[in-house]
Amino acid sequence: MKIIFVKLMLLGSIALFAPSISNAQTKSRPEGGKGGPGVRTPDYTKLKTDLNLTDDQLAFIKEQDVQFKAKLDSLKSNTALTEEEKRAKMKKAFEDKDAGLKTVLSADQYAKLPKFGGDGNRGGGDRKKPEGGSKKTK
């Protein structure tokens, strides 16, 4: 009798928790933003509001982003280049994009432009290492 009771309890708990386990396995996070995995798509509406951009400025920035992404994708997939050559060309692409932004934005708008990366760098370059070694402590 005890064995039957234990089996029924086990079967009941499996039946009770099976749907939640099934849902947890089938739910997945979306793959990146609109651009796919690893691609951060800028919030152009917020950018326009925060920087007080004109429609022409915003259109220029969007077009530059498309061209920049295409250039980086072609560099990443180019097997003829060494890693060092790719890095140099990517750095040049960042600098070209930055120079283009400076031509269309006012100095005030450019200063408010969100920085690329968390350390205030506008693209590539040497990253500062945290003090006290390479690992951060919490």
In a domain, 64, yes or no: yes
In a domain, 94, yes or no: yes
Looking at per-residue pLDDT, the higher value among 100 and 9 belongs to 100
In a domain, 118, yes or no: no
In a domain, 34, yes or no: no
**pTM greater than 0.85 (yes/no):** no
Q: Are 112 and 50 in contact (CB under 8 A)?
A: yes
- Output the CA angle 47-127-45, nearest 5 degrees: 5
In a domain, 95, yes or no: yes
In a domain, 93, yes or no: yes
- pLDDT tens-place string over residues 64-85: 999 999 999 998 898 898 999 9
In a domain, 83, yes or no: yes
Number of domains the chain contains = 1
Structural domain harbouring 57: 44-112
In a domain, 89, yes or no: yes
